[in-house]
Amino acid sequence: MKQTKFFKKGFKPVSRTIKWLQRFSPKRRYHQTDPDSFSNRLPDTGMNINIMSFNIRRGTKQDGKNNWVFRRDLVNEILQHYSPDVLGLQEAL
């Protein structure tokens, strides 16, 4: 069986990884910014929108009591209750 040599001179990839991880050390100094500079400002005008994602489940022959015939009224009730402005449907075939 042939032996493979991974490293000839030390563990350079390991030392590179350690140096890379040290960049995220909490001891590292960060530039302080003025809190009112941009992050806490809200626009004078705007709009509220309701966004909803909903998985209505794809119907299959083996659904039994979870068949679309039994679920569609519940789905309609949920959508009417939350009345989203934007709706993303999953498994809606």
Domain positions in the chain are 50-93
Dig out the tokens for 63 from the structure.
């659904």
User: Band of the pLDDT at 88, cuts 50, 70, 90?
Assistant: very high
| Strand, helix or coil for residue 66 | helix
CA-based angle 19:25:29, to the nearest 5?
110
Tens digits of residue pLDDT in 11-44: 556 677 777 777 776 666 666 666 666 655 666 7
Give me the residues paired with residue 51 across strands. 86
pTM of the model: 0.46
Query: Which position has the higher pLDDT, 8 or 81?
Result: 81
Dig out the tokens for 51 from the structure.
């966004």
Residue for token digits 């022959």? 61
Q: Which helix (H) or strand (E) holds 17?
A: helix 12-22
Identity of the residue numbered 44: D
Tens digits of residue pLDDT in 48-74: 889 999 888 776 777 788 888 888 898
pLDDT score recorded for residue 30: 61
Neighbours of 63 (CB within 10 A): 14
DSSP secondary structure letter of residue 64 = G
